[in-house]
Chains A and B, each alone.
Chain A
Amino acid sequence: MVTSVMIVGVGGQGSLLASRVLGKAALDKGYDVKVSEVHGMSQRGGSVVTYVRFGDKVASPIIDKGGADFIISFELLEAARYTGFLKPNGQIVTSSQQIDPMPVVAGTATYPENLVEKMEKAGAKVDVLDALKLAEEAGSSKASNIVLMGRFSKYLPEISKEEWMSAVSACVPAKFLELNKKAFELGLNA
């Protein structure tokens, strides 16, 4: 049994840290884990995807269409873009944040409307929260990745809150630990 999670967003939003926290939590739980990341400044502002897979034995580091159990998204349009990667009835946890892509900035396209309804119609279950606002409440807009992980933790009962916190501690600098713990709590209880 392998659980497949896609973490998607806009380059620079902090998906690498989110994938490391999840990878660490799964590793500490004793699972085999593979994480596939996107690197390079060239991805700044572009659509980015990170794959995290864990279970008894994981072969492929990537996820194909129809292969994801979960999508964690930092941005609404990006959640919609990857919906086709979900298994039927798969779960999306997404921030309500909207960032205009360049075609919208340039005026050659418009930001699509009713995205949550479209995702549900496509067969996904959708959980939306304002991760950016909660992150600011925790002390930094950069902590929206940990807010989202807090929310996502509700869907993975096999990993306890203590185990999540220990993974967060291992992945963030000590001086930001309290802020990130608060961000996790705010996401969990949102």
Chain B
Amino acid sequence: MKELMLGNKAVARGLYEAGVALASSYPGTPSTETTEEAAKYDEIYCEWAPNEKVALETAFGACIAGKRSYCAMKHVGLNVAADPLFTISYTGVNAGMVICVADDPGMHSSQNEQDSRHYAIAAKLPMLEPSDSEEALEFTKKAYEISEEFDTPVLLKMCTRVSHSQSIVETSERVEPPIKPYVKDAAKYVMVPANAKKRHPIVEERTKKLEAFAEETELNRLEVGEDKSLGIICDSTSYEYVKEVFGDRISILKLGLINPMPDEKIKKFAASIDRLVVVEELDPIIETHVKALGIEVEGKNLFPMVDEFSQGIVAEKLGQPAAAKCEEIEDLPNRPPAMCSGCPHRGLFYTLKKNKCTVIGDIGCYTLGATPPLSSIDTTECMGASVSSIHGFNKILGSEAEKHTVAVIGDSTFMHSGMTGLANIAYNQTNSTVIILDNSITGMTGHQQNPTTGFNLRGEPAGKIDLEALVRSMGIDRVVVVDPYDLAETDRVVKEELAAEAPSVIISRRPCALLKYVKKGKPLQVNPDKCIGCKSCMKLGCPSISFRNGKAVVDETQCFGCGVCSELCPKDAFEVQGE
């Protein structure tokens, strides 16, 4: 059957058709829907793991047990999972195992623009790169065949424009592979030095075999055009942009298997055309490889190392005419993403700003606390960094810093990698104040459950970790829970814990306003006779409140009715409609 399918959903369909039995992932845009869609098939057990390292190791255990397994993560998640990645390259697999990593060129929703193809080379693993949904489905299935044939985990590299684009796919039925019995084999699976020394040469031999495979496989496709003045080697979405500009006019070597690369095919291709250009987003992985073969090639001398590409960039850099267009309308105000109306994070960040706190930040919706008018956050690097970094910050600056510095981290991020930082605070002792923003969900990636919510990926009841008990058991005696809608209490608690001569954890707890079970309050209105135009409410940066003709105005269609604004109004001008 033919249907229009999202790239990530096509991966999930590939998992289903390939007979995959287990998927364990941590959500991360743009990879998240591969696992969410896989969970719609009863035949695949799917779960959210606390972090990517746990997910990858879980998938490894499942493949050793004898069934095909899968894990998915965004590019930065692979950094977290890199430790097992490099060593399971040595052990190999039993049943097939595929690790999906989704890059984000252009940083639509990421903190860096790293190129995951480096990992395939560094860990000596085959990596497949689909260009559209049809390939996403086919390559996923192919990845399992390669995994089992060559005894290796296989990386499946997606990117934002492949993951989040829909194109036409043709589906087929699931083929259920029989379980491959687990056999104890210490020489293969116990990576102590004596065994690992014997496994490393096997990895190198495997790479040789994969190099031969790369020459033969249809994953690397040669398309011959009539115009020999230019030939292009490309991968991923770059292929689509090249096709958009040149159609079938020129010759293209499309690499679907990015590691290892087909040296002979590349040499033959280079010899068949006058000018060779590599078109690839981010780093010059293919270009560097081609140059090492002694072939004259262009690439990053023309194309940028940064941002995602488009057909317009390909046309411009390769001397094709630019499209005529309507004029740009200049000087329009930006529209950056903002905390939603009713967002529980808003009251907390208002309080931190009011207390002139230094805020060591983390990854999640609350990173929006860095934007005006709240402008509260001082640092943001990676998952879990807030809790570790506040400790180092306070060690250097001492008690003066401890009295005005906080770390902020979400519930899911705390479970991901915040706990270990807190262990360091408890163990090596700084009087740090860590605020866990518990909104009872993983918000930024689109509402995924986590170990603190009490529900599993399918929304069924699951184990629930008690944050207060967990934090206390780690040796933090001062644990306080506040409702961030209550500004006075939040202010009192923040002041008290900053002053305390002990490490403390504040749990700022209220469910995300977008959760289905959260009831919206009645929208507020501003009584213009009472409003004195002092703009106290405007300091919240609530998208429902604007300032018109010297008075605050509430957009009733957006207002969540949280009432935080009315706590700030000196004249009680916010009123519930009809009351």
Contact = CB atoms under 8 A, between A and B. Distances in A.
B337 A11 contact: yes
A38 B332 contact: no
Interface stretch (A98-106, A156-164, A178-186): A98-106
A81 interface: yes
A32 B168 CA distance: 7
B474 interface: no
Contacts of A115: 329
A81 B332 contact: yes
8 contacts: A38-B108, A41-B514, A61-B132, A65-B323, A66-B324, A105-B542, A108-B372, A111-B333
A84 B326 contact: yes
B68 to A, nearest CB: 27
A34 B165 contact: yes
B29 A39 contact: yes
Nearest to A97: B557
A143 B378 CA distance: 40
Nearest to B324: A88
Interface string A84-115: 11111010000000011111111111111001
A84 B326 CA distance: 5
A23 B560 CA distance: 33
Interface in B471-527: 514
Given A42-B109, A46-B336, A119 B329 contact: yes
B404 interface: no
A101 B243 contact: no
Interface in B74-120: 108-109
Contacts of A110: 333
A118 interface: yes
A33 B169 CA distance: 11
Contacts of A109: 333
B167 interface: yes
A129 B382 CA distance: 44
Contact of A81 (B326, B329, B445, B514): B329
Residues of B in contact with A, size category: 35 or more
A80 to B, nearest CB: 5
A40 interface: yes
B446 A87 contact: no
Contacts of A47: 334-335
Contacts of B555: 99
A85 B325 CA distance: 7
A103 B514 CA distance: 23
Given A33-B168, A64-B310, A87 B324 contact: yes
Interface in B298-321: 310-313
Contacts of B322: 66
A101 B335 contact: yes
B430 interface: no
B73 to A, nearest CB: 15
B275 interface: no
A35 B165 contact: yes
Nearest to B2: A27
Counting chain A CB atoms within 10 Å of each CB, the highest count among B166, B444, B541 belongs to B166
B327 A45 contact: no
A47 B337 CA distance: 7
Given A60-B241, A102-B371, A83 B328 contact: yes
A10 interface: yes
Given A27-B168, A106-B373, A84 B132 contact: no
Given A23-B4, A36-B161, 17 more contacts: A32-B168, A33-B166, A35-B167, A36-B165, A39-B32, A41-B514, A45-B339, A61-B166, A61-B237, A62-B161, A65-B323, A83-B326, A102-B543, A103-B333, A105-B542, A106-B538, A122-B329
A12 B335 CA distance: 13
A64 B241 CA distance: 10
Nearest to B558: A99
Nearest to B323: A66
A118 B329 contact: yes
B429 interface: no
Counting chain A CB atoms within 10 Å of each CB, the highest count among B29, B166, B326, B338 belongs to B326
